[in-house]
Structure 1
């Protein structure tokens, strides 16, 4: 069952077409990362899903209905990049206030526990650090016990420990069947946590698939080593699709078959050192896709 459905959606602002025939379905219980450069249309698409705006053309459904309906909005939680939290309220007061807006909220203590805010529950919102303020925004997003949760750049400002605890909490929500839509510039987090990645640019979808399938859409391995080979010799090695070599003999080879490259080095008894083999990351795939927006991938 789809928790979110956008069908043939256009959104224009005057002469600016922010979304162009956008069709996107998000399955219930799925963690989907929605990625794209600034101006790609992500924020506009999310505003439609939250019921904050209407499409110029096409339809938007969340939990099977118009997201502007009160019954639907009660089932949605949102952690925006910036939250206008009353600075004079304590953390507990803010979470308590938000909990009263929902028909079947979590307990305040549970929301504080998920966001790791128990030790600062009595502190005023205006006195929180940047990372603590992000954790408060998370508590406010989940206290309503939403079926669909939107996380917009959620870990910005968090330290490493807070990030780890945050993703543990998100994993728990996902295991409980919540649908989660994530936007982030930390692509390693999207690669590690998302079931599915959707890449947008210029109001349209460029790629849609698992993190693994998107990584596999680019030259998916890099082999680095130091040797006496010149560029022409590197390019003749089996499996090499592109290569560079600097004046100190540092070779950088892109390949879909790293085993073939390494086998050739050993079989031909080519001396080398400082060997490093790595596969393409989601960041590599993202940069490749957004550099050539006309070539989309679906997997």
Structure 2
């Protein structure tokens, strides 16, 4: 498929420190991509270069086969960034209409109000909106030009549960119409449910890339949880085969393993004192933490070997 966004060996340095390090990434038209990473990993810098707000120190960035800084390209993208700012002394309807006037073929006002769930607030002063409503106004402004590519940076921060559900239903509909959507979020359950591809960036480099199912399978396997009885020895966990991660919450034990069937067989064979046993697949959040920890450990080992 044709690439909506293409980064080729892109690096970005700030005062001698690399925020993005030799990143190569293609994002196909019509895909929904969750761009994930811990704070300071380089994902925000990557997005600002995709938007043309920053130039790479080296490498190339192409957006819709052109330069992200070109006016003709900018007219075809929309961005909902983290900062929430509204214009004083203008109503919601007036602000949306103002942004619509910047584009040759804007999305109709009535549709933008419906999509953002702000039809009832259209005559309100924008400064009187709640934090969640201001986020929804930002969403309407990002869509004002009826964009082909939409960037959503932590879009649901400040939204209540009802607003979040409406927002993601709308994003799914937009994705279904062929738009390319790039999402960054700390709510990994949202990324898991909406994205058809997950890209993890850590220390400025590509740490993982694949479908949510592939990321979860490769990083964490499955999870066995149970309630340990009074006679269950904690040291037993250390001797179990294939446990990649273990945690206790009171008497509730959580074990990660690529082969939970073998693990359960081993526990039963040792007549372990346990009840309320559950086996389920790991979530994207567990996989993300696993990936980041492994990447950090590998980087620390590499630094130690170079000394």
TM-score by structure 1 length?
0.90
SS state at 2:279 partner: strand
Distance 1:241 1:284 in 2: 12
Match of 2:280 in 1: 278
What number of residue pairs does the alignment pair up?
295
Q: Report which stretch shifted further, 263-272 or 82-91.
A: 263-272
Which structure is higher in helix share? 2
Match of 1:119 in 2: 120
Maintained 8 Å contact 1:230/1:245: no
Q: How do 1:113-262 and structure 2 match up within 5 A?
A: 113-225=114-226, 226-227=228-229, 228-231=231-234, 233=236, 240=243, 243=246, 250-262=252-264
Change (3 A) 1:291 1:85: same
SS state at 2:220 partner: coil
Change (3 A) 1:123 1:202: same
Q: CA deviation at 1:267?
A: 6.9
Q: CA deviation at 1:83?
A: 3.6
What do the CA deviations read for 1:146-179 (whole angstroms, capped 9, x no partner)?
0000000000000000000000000010000000
Change (3 A) 1:244 1:74: closer
Q: Report which stretch shifted further, 167-176 or 229-238.
A: 229-238
What do the CA deviations read for 1:72-110 (whole angstroms, capped 9, x no partner)?
000000001014320321111111111111111110110
Q: Report which stretch shifted further, 97-106 or 81-90.
A: 81-90
Q: How do 1:81-96 and structure 2 match up within 5 A?
A: 81-96=82-97
Q: CA deviation at 1:125?
A: 0.9
Distance 1:128 1:245 in 2: 43
Q: CA deviation at 1:199?
A: 0.9
Q: Does 1:100 align with 2:101?
A: yes
Q: What do you get for the CA RMSD once the two structures are aligned?
A: 2.3
Maintained 8 Å contact 1:231/1:243: no
Distance 1:127 1:48 in 2: 33
What do the CA deviations read for 1:250-297 (whole angstroms, capped 9, x no partner)?
44332222233445556777663222333222111211222232669x
Maintained 8 Å contact 1:11/1:18: yes
Consecutive unaligned residues of structure 2, counting only runs of 5 or more, are 300-307
Distance 1:270 1:23 in 2: 49
Match of 1:53 in 2: 54
Q: CA deviation at 1:221?
A: 2.0
TM-score by structure 2 length?
0.88
Distance 2:253 2:43 in 1: 38
Distance 1:221 1:36 in 2: 22
Change (3 A) 1:43 1:242: closer
Distance 1:51 1:38 in 2: 21
Q: CA deviation at 1:111?
A: 0.7
Distance 1:126 1:218 in 2: 44
Maintained 8 Å contact 1:36/1:200: yes
SS state at 2:295 partner: coil
Q: CA deviation at 1:245?
A: 6.8
- In the TM superposition, structure 1's runs of 4+ consecutive aligned residues that sit over 6 Å from their partners are none
